[in-house]
Amino acid sequence: MTCTVTVLGATGSIGRSTADLLDQHRGRFRVGAVAGGRDAAALARVARDLGASFAALADPAGGRDLAQALAGSGIACGAGPAAVIEAATRDADLVVAAVSGAAGLAPTHAAIRLGRTVALANKESLVCAGDAFMRDARRFGARILPMDSEHNALAQAIGEGRVEDITRMTITASGGPFRTAPRERIAAASAAEAAAHPTWSMGMKINIDSATLMNKGLELVEAHHLFAIDAGRLDVVVHPQSIVHGLVTWRDGAVTAGLAMPDMRVPIAHCLGIGERLSIARGRAVDLAATGSLTFERPDEERFPCLRIARAALAAGGAQPTVMNAANEIAVAAFIAGRIGFYDIAALVEGACEGFAARYPAAPADVEEALAIDAEVRRWSEARLAA
């Protein structure tokens, strides 16, 4: 039976890797809807290549270009947030949620509310609205397949095991491009330097998050929600080779780890297979003898304060992760635009977490409230940057 797949964020890094696998296994999949942000030409291309039935562009201004680029293809299209929601809610066996940032929350949540199976790459959805998101997944019978490499490795390592029997869950970090750089050097880094990731090829926002280690912070919050595990049992270890992605330590001291080469197509294929294993053309198997050594070290929260800030936000709970995520998105965009320096990212995020702690002590009751807090923190962050 063919599996109908919808891809939200189809033109991005995860979207392209997903498209590669869908193309490799054409007989197995049919592509329902595809959605993108602003690039109408790229979206039209992927929609045509994959034979999608519907294409949605978030930017309303690109609607005409998209329609023109799809003329004669028989692919229906729309533009604006409502069109993206339509893409997310069209009939599908699997929805790949690979929009970047909290912009992915509304469409992903719309799919959750229909009880869909969602392959979740968009970690910001969980950081922004984790409690409400997971509660709605349970309420509407939606299944969430972790697509982030560490969480996918953890899910595979857990297998049929029980979370109660786990004493520690560890996610690894490559350490980013500044792993060994002194603080003064990091402080002066440009966005291009920060985006030069040593092991993974990814979108711009997650590249910067990897350089600050905020990506690991977001992933701790993500793991907390996906596996219903408390912050005290979550750990981060730096592993420059990016071959071991997640480790589960059991009550008896045994450790189960998930390994793969740093290629997002591995966790994506695991999700697309929904229980069956897919082959990956031009994929590389782990060869430990060729790799020689796998090394591990503690993260340095002095040089990478975003990890400390994220740990604190997770431990504090309430709306702190929501606030942190929103401020981080504004800070990262400002850093990419050359408006602020590397360590100003952490300063803005920490300022927002402190500034909003008393105002929003409780976790958002629902996704709407999370999005309202997100919007307020974005305005506050923009104002602070402009001051």
Q: How far is the CB of 165 from ligand NDP (least distance, A)?
A: 27
Residue 15 contact among ligand NDP, Mg ion, none, beta carbon within 5 to 8 Å by kind: ligand NDP
Q: Which stretch binds ligand NDP (CB under 6 A): 30-38, 130-138, 325-333, 378-386?
A: 30-38
User: Taking CB under 5 A as the rule, does residue 148 contact Mg ion?
Assistant: yes
Distance (Å, rounded) from C-alpha 179 to C-alpha 181?
A: 6
If the CB atoms of residues 111 and 249 are measured against ligand NDP, the closer one turns out to be: 111
Q: What character string, x for contact with ligand NDP (CB under 6 A) and - otherwise, covers 158-197? A: ----------------------------------------
User: Which CB atom, from 15 or from 305, has the smaller least distance to ligand NDP?
Assistant: 15
Interacting positions 121-160 with ligand NDP (CB under 6 A): 121-124, 148
Question: Does 158 count as an annotated binding residue?
Answer: no
Give the nearest distance from C-beta 164 to ligand NDP in angstroms.
Answer: 28
Residues 6+ apart with CB under 8 A from 56: 33, 34, 35, 36, 77, 78, 79, 83, 84, 86, 87
Can residue 86 be called a binding residue for Mg ion (CB under 5 A)? no
We find the least distance from the C-beta atom of residue 264 to Mg ion, in angstroms, to be 9
Contacts with ligand NDP in 204-243 (CB under 6 A)? 204-206
How many residues bind to ligand NDP according to rule CB under 6 A?
A: 31
Residue type, 189: A
Q: Which does 123 bind (CB under 5 to 8 A by kind): Mg ion, ligand NDP, none?
A: ligand NDP
Q: Which is nearer to ligand NDP, 69 or 264 (CB)?
A: 264
Size of the chain in residues: 387
Interface stretch with ligand NDP, choices 32-40, 47-55, 339-347, 357-365 (CB under 6 A): 32-40
Of 6 and 149, CB closest to Mg ion: 149
What binding mask, one character per residue, do residues 48-77 give for ligand NDP by CB under 6 A, x or -?
----------x-------------------
- Which candidate, 367, 387, 224, places its Cα nearest to that of 355? 387
Q: Enumerate residues 6+ apart whose C-beta is below 8 A from 25.
A: 272, 278
Q: Which does 211 bind (CB under 5 to 8 A by kind): Mg ion, ligand NDP, none?
A: none
Residue (122 or 149) nearer to Mg ion, CB: 149
State whether the Cα torsion 157-163-166-167 is positive or negative. Answer: positive
Q: What is the binding site for ligand NDP (CB under 6 A)?
A: 8-15, 35-39, 58, 84, 98-100, 103, 121-124, 148, 200, 202-206, 264
Annotated binding site for 1-deoxy-D-xylulose 5-phosphate, which residues?
123, 149-150, 174, 197, 210, 215-216, 219
Q: What is the binding site for Mg ion (CB under 5 A)?
A: 148-150
